[in-house]
Structure 1
Amino acid sequence: MTVFPGGTGVTHLTVYDWTGPDGLPGGSAHVHLVCTEGYVVLEGRGRLQTLGADGYAETPLTPLTVAWFAPGVVHRLVNDGGLKILVVMQNAGLPEAGDAVLTFPPEHLADPARYRAAAALPPDDPAGGARRRKDLAVDGFVRLRAAVERDGPDALADFYGQAAALVRDQLPTWRGRWRDGPLAAATATGEQLDRLAEGGFHHLHDGEVT
């Protein structure tokens, strides 16, 4: 992960081509609790499957497609061929710190230890662990999709509640990352605006290329 200005993060993602339990190749379904995520499609084609306030939706992904979604949108990438994406994340560091909650079946979400064990990648078999983790998340996503299509978006409430409970003990750490990253960046912009309003410009001498 590279931290960009404003406390964002970018990742170059090659989407899994492993077939899931429903026969579709693609990634691990998950939701972000406080971060907006954006995709810029670089190569290939695929689909973004989502569950949210608008129910179930599917967005086609082709080169130069730009799509983003707010916290609470459950999402899954389907790789229809060579899908590579530039991922732009709000609040760099938080998704890696647990903000991304996988859509495991309810029995896994109800037990933090069981969830962590299923989400972990064993050092002796990381690829196998990633495949098992992805299949479990797709299994949960398929169940959620069926519930949403039957009962509407309110069917996501139990999943949201379990996801929020899973991360509650991590919130103090998240707050520190937010304070030192995105909030600090926004505060620095405010200070620069104040300086410019007073006729100052010395911060411009500190500009550099990374």
Structure 2
Amino acid sequence: MRYPLPGGVGVSRLCVYDTVTPDGLPGGTPHIHLCCTEAYVVTGGRGAVQTLSGQGFAEHELSPGALLWFTPGTVHRLVNHGDLEIVVVMSNSGLPESGDAVLTFPSEVLADPDRYAVAAALPGGGAPGTDVTSAYLRRDLAVEGFHNLRAAVDRHGPRAMREFYDAAVALKRPLLDQWRTRWEDGAFRAAQSTGVQLDALARGDASHLRDARVMAVPRPTEEGRLGMCGLLDTYVP
């Protein structure tokens, strides 16, 4: 039997990149998710998250104990002011790993699926031990595109985001059937199970309580994978 994390979420520990990007700010790679809401629980250090949406640009300070989350379509960029560490909680566990992210590369790269794939790829998928240089190169290209997009939003308002969203959807459309299967087997099934339990309780049936289990993962399943925002330690129950 499969026992997912509550609600079918994904959990990882993130040490944010601390090298300087072309605009002088150390941190991660700006990107969006198309289907996943993301939450940050700050556990160490200090920093900020810069965001872009139809509402424009915003920046939120991050310090230990802070909780921040954002919905799909929010461009987000982590800035590391010193030893920034975060526990990341993602809806729809498995979707981000299956490609539910679009990096803010310049528009000419976004418009060409082949160029985008080359620019976004990491050797070995960024497995632990991979040279981090490739992650920095794609991050710096995304920072360039982030500033282009921010300038376009300042000039043209929400219309600039719609153009970016259209490009993002075109890139990811071939993956949608695979994403739907992961959602149905993950978060959707987890939500349905609560309904089944409520129906059983209404009948006076407590059989699912007799199947109670405790699960534990003593250490991250994988440590040091190159993520978009930093080094990831991931938990796969």
Q: Same fold (TM over 0.5)?
A: yes
Query: Does the residue aligned with 1:126 lie in a helix, a strand or coil?
Result: coil
Q: Is the 8 A contact 2:56 2:154 kept in 1?
A: yes
Higher RCO structure (Cα 8 Å, ≥6 apart): 2
- Aligned pairs, number: 209
Give the drift of 1:190. 0.5
Residue of structure 1 equivalent to 2:230: none
Distance 2:68 2:158 in 1: 21
- Written as runs of structure 1 = structure 2, the 5 A alignment for 1:1-210 is 4-123=5-124, 126-210=131-215
**Kept after mapping to 2: 8 A contact 1:12/1:86:** yes
**Please, which runs of 5 or more residues in structure 2 have no aligned partner?**
216-237
- Please, what is the CA RMSD of the aligned residues? 1.4
* Contact 1:3–1:10 under 8 Å retained in 2: no
Question: Could you say if the C-alpha distance between residues 146 and 98 of structure 1 is closer, same or farther in structure 2, counting changes exceeding 3 Å?
Answer: same
Provide Cα deviations, 1:147-198, integer angstroms capped at 9, x if missing partner.
Answer: 1122222211111000000000000000000000011111111000000000
Distance in 1 (CA, whole Å) between partners of 2:49 and 2:55 is 14
Distance 1:66 1:31 in 2: 19
Equivalent residue for 2:222? Answer: none
**3-state SS of 1:200 partner:** coil
Greater helix share, structure number = 1
Normalised TM-score (structure 2):
0.85
CA separation of 1:11 and 1:189: change in aligned 2, threshold 3 A: same
Return 117-126 or 20-29, whichever deviates more: 117-126
SS in structure 1 at match of 2:199: helix
**Contact 1:41–1:64 (Cα < 8 Å) also in 2:** yes
Superposition deviation, residue 125 in structure 1: 5.7
The CA deviation at 1:126 is: 3.4
What is the CA-CA distance between 1:137 and the residue it aligns to? Answer: 0.8
CA distance in 2, matches of 1:62, 1:153: 30
Instruction: Please identify, of 75-84 and 124-133, the stretch whose mean Cα deviation from structure 2 is larger.
Output: 124-133
Distance across 2 between alignment mates of 1:17 and 1:3: 32
Is the contact between residue 51 and residue 76 of structure 2 (CA under 8 Å) also seen in structure 1? yes
Q: Which runs of 5+ in 1 are unaligned?
A: none
How many angstroms apart in 2 are the aligned matches of 1:126 and 1:186?
39
Contact 2:4 2:186 in 1 (8 A): no
Q: Whole-Å Cα distance in 1 between the matches of residues 144 and 5 of structure 2? A: 34
Give me the whole-angstrom Cα distance separating, in 2, the residues matched to 1:126 and 1:9. Answer: 25
- Greater shift in the superposed pair: 126-135 or 69-78: 126-135
What TM-score do the two structures reach when normalised by structure 1? 0.96
